[in-house]
Amino acid sequence: MMIRELTTPEEFEACMTLQRDGFGWTDVELMPLRFFVVSRHIGGLVLGAFEGAETVGFLSAIPGLRDGRPYWHSHILAVSSSRRNSGIGTQLKFAQKEQALQRGIRLIEWTFDPMMSRNAYLNIEKLGVIVRRYYPSFYGKDRDRLIAEWWLDRSRPSLTGETRRVTIAGDPGAAGAARTRIRQEFLANIKDDFYVAGFERHGETSDYVFVRGAAHVDRAD
């Protein structure tokens, strides 16, 4: 496996193919080729994962600015359907981290569905992200999203002191009532200055683990 930056329109064509294959998207849903050209031109990043001459995965990040702090928003990651669950996504994320640190970027953010335990486990336990923001209907009705914050030069938060938990089922297609409960519990915990610092799996269910101190995360440096 080789991972390197993609730089040319010809290389970005593979990103179009992987969106169709990895997500099953139609042409109208695709991020267009010019998106990858422009995002790299303005300080973003497009990485490709290769097995021989074949591009089997890619990741794209675009620059952002919040409260005077530059960061990358990791906008899209796709892996070939024939290579799912092979660890390519994780390898792309760690390569993204290396690229960010080389360029002076200390924070990478992205969105994910709070009901998807597989993504939550990867993001929180393998990568070490935290979650302080929950956006109801971010992409339309009931398409709620969490914001992953990956602080690249900081150690993983300790799960000590007072903790709270929000439990989700293993089925990402959980009923609307469950989604509503999870939304309410997340928003209540965030309002009380708790943030997600851990994720635990228990067979058919999983727990987001919250610790106190969300308002102080930005002051750690």
- CATH for 42: 3.40.630.30
Please tell me the distance from the alpha carbon of residue 208 to that of residue 30, in angstroms, as a whole number.
31
One-letter amino acid at 215 equals A
Residue 173 lies in a domain: no
> One digit per residue, pLDDT tens: the chain, 221 residues?
899 999 999 999 999 999 998 888 888 889 999 999 999 999 999 999 999 999 999 999 999 998 889 999 999 999 998 888 889 999 999 999 999 999 999 999 999 999 999 999 999 999 999 999 999 988 888 789 999 999 999 988 999 899 999 999 866 555 678 899 999 999 999 999 999 999 999 988 999 999 999 988 875 54
Instruction: Supply 212's token pair.
Output: 């106190």
Residue 212 lies in a domain: no
Residue 177 lies in a domain: no
Residue 174 lies in a domain: no
User: What is the domain range of residue 123?
Assistant: 2-158
Confidence (pLDDT) at 173: 58
Confidence (pLDDT) at 137: 85
What is the tally of structural domains in the chain?
1
Residues pairing with 70 in the sheet: 65
pTM value > 0.85: yes
Q: Which helix or strand (DSSP H or E) is residue 98 part of?
A: helix 88-102
